[in-house]
Structure formats: C-alpha cells, structure tokens
Amino acid sequence: MLLNGSDKKLKSVAKTDSLGNPFFDRVKINKPEQKGDASMKLGMIGAVEEESFIQAQRRRLSFLEFCVNEGDDVDAFRAQLGRITVWKQQYGIGIGSIGRWKSERIDANGAILPEESERCFKLIDACAELGCPSFVAGCNYVDGLSFYDNCTSAIRFFEKLLRYANGKGVKVSTYNCRKVNFVNTPEVWKIVHGHLPELGIKFDPSHARFFGGDYMQEALDWGHRFYHVHLKGSLIVGGVKVDEPPAGMDQTDWPSFIAVLRSRGYDAGLSIEPRKSALPDELAAAGIDYSANYFRSLLLER
C-alpha cells in the first residue's frame, strides 16, 4: 500500500512453488507509465506470405510465428528468408518463433536421426538470420525402448540442438503438444529439463486441458522455463473434447493464466493459434480479430 506519496518498494512474503522455486518475492510500485504490459508480446502463427504480415499489422500484433513441420521443405522455407526480411522491415512485424512439429528424431535403436538434426540446424540458422529468439521441436517415443532409454535419447537430441544454438541468440524449447512427442508433461520435464537447464518449454494450455492436466499448476511450477506460449481455445463438455474455438471465446481462464505468467516473470511471446472450429468459415478472420483484441486488453494495451 502506498502511503503519503512514498516511492519505496514493498516486499511481499517469500513464496515457493511445488518444486521449491521462489517466485513473486518483491512487488515494485510507482513504475513509470507504460502503454501496456511491456514484458509480453502478442503475435500469431501465420503462413509465409506477405498477407500474413499485412494482417498482423492490421491487428496491431508484434510478431509472426512460422511452423515448418514434417513434410514441409526446410530448404524451400530458407529460400524465402530474403523476402521475409523485407516484409519484416516493411510492416514492422518481427518473427517470434519458428517450430517443427510431428517429425521423428529418434530411430528404433534410440539413435538420433542425422537428417532430422540437420533440418533443425537449418531452422535454428534461419532463426538467427531473422532475429527470431525461439526454436521449438519435440521428440518421439520409441515403443521398443524403456522410458529411461527414451528420456536419455531425448536428452541427447536436445543437448545437440542446444550446443548448435549456443551463441546464435536462439533459445530451444520442447512443446507440450502430443504429436510425435512425449516430452509434454511435468513428469518428463523433471527428467529432461531437469538435466538440461537451458532447455525451455513452449506451452499451450489446451494440450494440458485436453489430456487431463492442470494447466494453471503447470504454469505456476514450470513458467520460469517457458520460452514461448500458444494461445489456443479449448472446449470440453462431460470430459470430452468438443471444439477449439478462438482463444478468448473458450473455457480457458485466460486472465488468471496471464497473471500466473506474470508472477513467474514470463517476458516472451504469446502466439495466437488459429484453428478450424465450429465457427463458420466466413467468420474465421473475425474470430482471430476477437482473440487479438481480447488479449491486448489482458496485456493492458491501449
């Protein structure tokens, strides 16, 4: 509480999460006036085309995210870096993250697939060239191997990416999506991320919700390791997934989730993920507009 115009800092009671990590140990008051939450930036996933930049600018977003997934041509993506750089400068839109989903990284014997490592290396280089701070990848589970062997294979794979990204200004994260990826829950994070302190997490509350997790507790316990966050809607009725409506038009407690991120010191991207939903196709763009406006309000942007 501020008394008599004092500008002193007030200390809160020291707290720890369930993993013993300290958080929110000090509250500052009388901060300089800001236009919004300067620590988190709002963006969205988009196609690699000029129209994505035009729409991002129209929606007053800060960045775009690109997904170069299994089946996508990594070299063809890299061939567009020159155009992406021009669009970045022309529209004032950064590149917040590049990710690669649904690819197998480990073979049946637990060895790293070299061709997939090379694709990831090329995308890390693309991040560095574009000034993009985040690269995201998963790791498949091999059924013929033990859980221990799968974890050690995943550690070796991500350790390889971390070594390659070192000094390039690019952070490496796992994702909590289940697609060709088992490094998606706190039980696995304790092992893989516990062994690799520089490895981050790309977190999406909907994946926790759809698979019975507690997204608020996961954010509280692991938010200090989040390097990137997806904003995707989720609707569950009677324990069954019904739809993925635009974020902000769904059941997720987004105000509380954003508050938890703030309490954990999160200062990176919030990326709207457009999905095919029950919303009619002719309203899809309006749904994205709604999400952009909704989250700008949560970030107190004016």
Q: What does the pLDDT look like over 168-221, one tens digit per residue?
A: 999 999 999 999 999 999 999 999 999 999 999 999 999 999 999 999 999 999
Please report which confidence band the pLDDT of residue 118 belongs to, taking 50, 70 and 90 as the band edges: very high
Residue 81 confidence (pLDDT) = 99
Res 302 pLDDT > 80:
no
Res 283 pLDDT > 60:
yes
Q: How many whole angstroms separate alpha carbon 251 and alpha carbon 236?
A: 8
Res 258 pLDDT > 90:
yes
Q: Which of 24, 61, 22, 46 is nearest to 299 (CA)?
A: 61
Answer whether CATH 2.60.40.10 is correct for domain 41-292.
no
- Mean pLDDT, rounded, of the chain: 91
pLDDT digits over 11-48, tens only?
344 455 555 555 444 333 233 333 444 589 999 999 99
Residue 16 confidence (pLDDT) = 53
| Span 277-285, average pLDDT | 95
Residue 30 confidence (pLDDT) = 34
Res 289 pLDDT > 80:
yes
Residue 99 confidence (pLDDT) = 98
Please report which confidence band the pLDDT of residue 121 belongs to, taking 50, 70 and 90 as the band edges: very high
| Span 98-122, average pLDDT | 98
Residue 15 confidence (pLDDT) = 52
Please report which confidence band the pLDDT of residue 8 belongs to, taking 50, 70 and 90 as the band edges: very low
| Span 120-133, average pLDDT | 99
| Span 228-232, average pLDDT | 99
Residue 17 confidence (pLDDT) = 53
| Span 96-112, average pLDDT | 98
Q: How many whole angstroms separate alpha carbon 209 and alpha carbon 216?
A: 10
| Span 52-63, average pLDDT | 98
Contact predicate 273/231, CB 8 Å: yes
Residue 284 confidence (pLDDT) = 96
End-to-end CA distance of the chain: 26
